[in-house]
Amino acid sequence: MEMVPLTHYLFLSATLFVIGVVGVLVRRNAIVVFMSIEIMLNAVNISLIAFDRYLNLHDGQIFSFMVMCVAAAEVSVGLAIIISLFRNKPTINLDEFNIMKS
């Protein structure tokens, strides 16, 4: 059975990562920015697992497992921050949050 070359997975990973970066840079909706961060984390997981199979190790899978743990922690804390910000000021437009800027 013909296997997919490693470079294809790396191309997919790079493309998804860049889409996530563009999402973070362009969008001003806090929730969509969070989703773009999730896209970036997933793109990294593709690279990890592709190299993992290429090198015939399991370390990459363990590492992507850790990435998933961090993503879950990040989302739970981040959405809690968004909710408490929304309680303070009823908007999730990131441009309107400038209370830290004196």
13-52 residues in contact with another protein (CB under 8 A) are 14-16, 18-23, 25-29, 31-32, 34-36, 38-39, 42, 45-46, 49-50, 52
In the complex, the smallest distance separating the C-beta of residue 36 from another protein, rounded to whole angstroms, is 6
Tell me whether residue 2 or residue 102 sits nearer to another protein (CB atom): 2
- Which of 73, 67, 80, 89 has its CA nearest to residue 31? 80
Partnered with residue 29 across adjacent β-strands are 93
Please give the residues from 60 up to 99 whose contact with another protein meets the rule CB under 8 A.
61-62, 64-66, 68-77, 79-88, 90-93, 95
Residues whose CB falls within 8 Å of the CB of residue 94, separated by 6 or more in sequence, listed in order: 28, 29, 30, 33
Token look-up 């400038």 returns 98
In the complex, the smallest distance separating the C-beta of residue 37 from another protein, rounded to whole angstroms, is 11
Q: Which amino acid is at 1?
A: M
In the complex, the smallest distance separating the C-beta of residue 59 from another protein, rounded to whole angstroms, is 8
Token look-up 């743990």 returns 69
